Copies of this chain bind each other. A is one copy, B any other.
């Protein structure tokens, strides 16, 4: 593994308070790999053998049932995913695929659990990470149940604008069909929701979004940290 990647991982809150020997042991057991775009990394139902860390690229977490699919989250560097399944030594509830060519570190779940038992700093960080993941999922579920499609899109755009430092204009980070699936609607409904938001201060041109009337958008979506999930891209 490259020293640079090692340092990036070390800086993650999950690993930053580990003792160096414990961190070294984890990294020693880990695999560093580059995967092409659209590769299925994990299939739901499989045993959770590895904690994954995305160093470069992006990974989609999705779920399927019968012949239906839905996007649950997009993981951006540098971040980990499926910690919960690793900790429980249980089957993955979600599948994962790369959205772009991605560099990913795989840490054997047994080593993660061992580090947890041995290193209190890591244990504390793991709980913080899980708790925050839990809370983000509560927000996702609340959002789905309390807002309609147009409001969900508006809230999403509002939050992306905040994430961009309050910029009025920004570019959608993923293609629209993925965004539609994440927001729990069809691509057609997303397209119509964008049109409907023109009346509420949002202009869209391809992937480029401009918030033309922040007050109007805010009035519609009533943004709220108890519902809206900030991306924590470092």
Contact = CB atoms under 8 A, between A and B. Distances in A.
A90 B142 CA distance: 17
Given A120-B120, A124-B116, A135-B88, A146 B68 contact: yes
A127 B147 CA distance: 31
A2 interface: no
Contact of A138 (B68, B94, B184): B94
Interface stretch (A34-42, A98-106, A160-168, A221-229): A221-229
A94 B133 CA distance: 15
Contacts of A44: 226
A66 interface: yes
A204 B121 CA distance: 53
Contacts of A127: 87, 116, 123, 126-127, 130
A52 B187 CA distance: 42
Interface string A160-197: 00000000000000000000000010000000000000
Nearest to A87: B131
Interface residues of A, number: 48
A83 B84 CA distance: 15
B226 A144 contact: no
Contact of A226 (B45, B70, B87, B146): B45
Contacts of A144: 141, 144-145, 184
A53 interface: no
A132 interface: yes
Given A63-B145, A85-B131, 13 more contacts: A45-B226, A63-B142, A65-B226, A66-B222, A72-B138, A84-B134, A88-B128, A91-B225, A116-B123, A117-B120, A130-B131, A144-B145, A144-B184
13 contacts: A66-B222, A68-B146, A83-B131, A84-B134, A85-B131, A87-B127, A88-B132, A91-B225, A93-B138, A116-B124, A120-B120, A137-B137, A144-B144
